[in-house]
A and B are shown apart, each in its own frame.
Chain A
Amino acid sequence: MSEENEELESINDGEILEPTESITRITGMYKEWFLDYASYVILERAVPAIEDGFKPVQRRIMQSMKDLDDGRYNKVANIVGHTMQYHPHGDASISDAMVQIGQKDMLIDMQGNWGKYLYR
């Protein structure tokens, strides 16, 4: 066996080992995707910030209500539409979030039916 291996080294002589691109295996992919998603959910979606107690979507709604504020009532749909400038997701998620803030009856001066705050 030993004589068979004589020339093993010689094949790469004088050649610089170029790193050949290799495939990311499944555990690597899982790790990356999982962390992308988990981090996003924690930082940008589900958890209120310690500074103001808002989730990002709520903060964006407040911002756009400030933008639109002219002393009169604004249509919900208008606020939702304006919020979409800041919030890169669907309109349904924004209006749901807005209804939730409204039902607390503290931050939004509401008119019309905003549904019932179930867990009071």
Chain B
Amino acid sequence: MAENTQYTEDNIRSLDWKEHIRMRPGMYIGKLGDGSSADDGIYILVKEVIDNSIDEFVMGSGKTIEVSIQGERVTVRDYGRGIPLGKVVDVVSKMNTGGKYDSRAFKKSVGLNGVGTKAVNALSSYFRVESTRDGKSASAEFSRGELNDQEMLEETSRRKGTKMTFVPDSEIFKNFKYRPEYVARMLKYYVYLNPGLTIMFNGEKFFSENGLKDLLSETILDTDRMYPIVHLVGDDIEVALTHSRTQYSEEYHSFVNGQNTTQGGTHLAAFREALVKTIREFYGKNYEASDIRKSIVSAIAIKVMEPVFESQTKTKLGSTDMGGDLPTVRTFINDFLKTKLDNYLHKHSDVAEAIQRKIIQAERERKDLSGIRKLARDRAKKSSLHNKKLRDCRVHLTDSKKENNLESTLFITEGDSASGSITKSRNVNTQAVFSLRGKPLNSYNMSKKIVYENEEFNLLQAALNIEDSMEDLRYNKIVIATDADVDGMHIRLLLITFFLQFFPELIKKGHIYILQTPLFRVRNKKETRYCYTPEERAAALAALGKNPEITRFKGLGEISPDEFKHFIGEDMRLDPLMLDDNMSIEDLLRFYMGGKNTPDRQEFIIDNLKVELDIIEEDTV
């Protein structure tokens, strides 16, 4: 069986730094992707470059950073001290080179391995760095890590600082496209975590005065807050929290050294624990932990020396110690909340009252639910052994040891035929399928009870494993795969209503996507093309010449499994779902999904009715 492969000195290779980065980009920037989700590689490239500018800001120079993304071209300009001119080439092209090994201040930064910009350099088809200081400037240009051009200017009127420009390599990032919304969100996090910093992005200005407080005021409308945001700041720690009136789930934003830890980790666990403990002690009552945390919206940022993360992409903190002579992360957060939050509650009795009211209300609701919950849980227990609507995959988001855990995807399909095709053509390791039967219930204005009563919702909740908290979410991407017809649209509306109503965090954190499937297949004997829009179809018709066969896919069930592989494989087209700034979910749902056909809505439909007139082909008449 074993083939006789040669294993000699020739087989052992030492890779050049850039070769290594290009061969194993995952080790440096997480996953590749085409830019449709916020953790795709092309955003990490931007982040790596900005991180350096942020470090300059932290060191006290350069209050403004300019970022511009024009198509594929990214430019980042800061007004920091600039890279020492003689080392401009080295810092971006020699592995393990950096200025952050010795200084104590840099101990609390995320990138300290001297790898970031080199990875960007190696993964860019064009890379240019330019540094200006003391009236002199130096620049260098690279292509895929190869030095092309180098220039020294003895005299310049430019202000000090560094400017980096790069174009991600399309050989590595296939068909990538920057979505400005994701960049904007990333930049917003930067300004929240660095009050006083201004970031200009394509002419838009980001600035925050109050740090995490601003972050929360953006995520939760003030009409939805139970009480004004509590904002506590200490050395190496910042916390902001409030309770929501309408949201059921707990919402946390956590950061370590400016890195957004989307999967939480030790600091978040400690925060949740400390919060419960502090509140219990303050009221002197032994409230249930889930009642205290219900509907909470909060953010925490800490600074840890030399943090350890559980995964390559730094989304989950693993450190137990703060570093230096500080105590453990857990004690540190606990002590902080215990003094600061306790003091705050003593000073602001109205807030304390509001929290207590919320807890008691949550307790009452929980008791209402408890009977049905038990029933549902028994059913879910059975279904976790055999969730009949779910065809599971092997790797889940929670398997942080496995490297492709971020690729875990759940397809929610409409009808058995579509789920059959997907089940057959999927990647069994990372892609799971949940099949809906018919239209889901309109869950607008229903209480959480319905999630337990309705079998479909209950199984979906069990499949996602989000009953207690978002932390155990089993899939990184939840893809709604309905037919591209009107009933498919309706199902999307109903499903998203369900998520908005009960699990808005899934959408806020960018886990939910819509699958785009082709509407037409145009082929002749040699070539097959799939077209997603009528325009593409026209183009394909022109290109394929006479008499191609045109098939219209009315539903996903009409696409055969072998073809489906193309649509959910590497070139999968996903539309991310994103909330609007400052929108009220409640208003949106009331308008579109409310039970009564209000005069407003009737007006709206009448004014916007989409009439599709048949186009009569003249030559046949």
Contact = CB atoms under 8 A, between A and B. Distances in A.
Contacts, number: 106
Majority SS at the chain B contact face? mixed
Interface in B89-116: none
A34 B609 contact: no
Majority SS at the chain A contact face? helix
A18 B609 CA distance: 33
B179 A27 contact: no
Contacts of B490: 33, 37
Contacts of B181: 22-23
B554 interface: yes
A26 B507 contact: yes
B592 A23 contact: no
A118 interface: no
A4 interface: yes
Interface string B593-621: 00000000000010011111000000000
A8 B200 contact: yes
Contacts of A16: 70
Interface residues of A, number: 36
Nearest to B205: A8
A111 interface: no
A23 B179 contact: yes
B402 to A, nearest CB: 29
Contact of A35 (B75, B177, B579, B605): B605
A26 to B, nearest CB: 5
Interface stretch (A39-47, A55-63, A65-73): A39-47
A35 B608 contact: yes
B588 interface: yes
Contacts of B404: none
B71 interface: yes
Contact of B63 (A4, A32, A37, A41): A4
Nearest to B507: A26
Contacts of A22: 179-181
A40 B486 contact: yes
A24 B554 CA distance: 24
B446 interface: no
B64 interface: yes
A39 B579 contact: no
A30 interface: yes
A4 B609 contact: no
The residue in B487, B554, B610, B611 that gathers the most chain A C-beta atoms within 10 A of its C-beta is B610
Q: Bin the interface of chain B by size.
A: 35 or more
Contact of A43 (B70, B577, B580, B611): B611
B68 A12 contact: yes
A85 interface: no
The residue in A5, A15, A22, A34 that gathers the most chain B C-beta atoms within 10 A of its C-beta is A34
A36 interface: yes
A48 to B, nearest CB: 17
A106 interface: no
Interface string B573-600: 0011111100100001000100000000
A7 to B, nearest CB: 6
Interface string B14-38: 0000000000000000000000000
A109 interface: no
A20 B577 contact: no
B575 A33 contact: no
B203 A25 contact: no
Given A1-B63, A33-B493, A36-B489, A11 B580 contact: no
B503 to A, nearest CB: 14
B66 A27 contact: no
B77 A11 contact: yes
Given A23-B576, A27-B583, A36 B66 contact: no
Interface in B467-499: 486-487, 489-490, 492-493, 496
B198 interface: yes
A51 interface: no
A38 interface: yes
A4 B198 contact: yes
A88 interface: yes
Contacts of B605: 35, 38-39, 42
B588 A25 contact: no
Nearest to A39: B610
B159 interface: yes
The residue in B79, B159, B486, B576 that gathers the most chain A C-beta atoms within 10 A of its C-beta is B486
A34 B202 CA distance: 33
B610 A15 contact: no
B588 A43 contact: no
Interface string B490-518: 10110010001000000100000010000
B424 to A, nearest CB: 23
Given A8-B200, A23-B576, A26-B578, A33 B492 contact: yes
Given A18-B71, A43-B609, A37 B493 contact: yes
Contact of B580 (A17, A18, A26, A38): A26
B178 interface: yes
B69 interface: yes
B493 A17 contact: no
B578 A30 contact: no
A6 to B, nearest CB: 7
Contact of A36 (B79, B177, B486): B486
A50 interface: no
A21 interface: yes
A29 interface: yes
B598 to A, nearest CB: 13
The residue in A6, A22, A32, A33 that gathers the most chain B C-beta atoms within 10 A of its C-beta is A33
Contacts of B611: 39, 43
A18 B70 contact: yes
Interface string B197-230: 0101011000000000000000000000000000
A27 B239 CA distance: 31
Interface of A: 1, 4-8, 11-12, 15-18, 20-27, 29-43, 88
Interface of B: 63-64, 66, 68-71, 75, 77, 79, 158-159, 177-181, 198, 200, 202-203, 486-487, 489-490, 492-493, 496, 500, 507, 514, 554, 575-580, 583, 588, 592, 605, 608-612
Given A1-B63, A25-B583, A41-B486, 5 more contacts: A29-B492, A29-B577, A36-B610, A37-B487, A43-B611
7 contacts: A16-B70, A22-B181, A25-B578, A25-B579, A32-B489, A34-B493, A43-B609
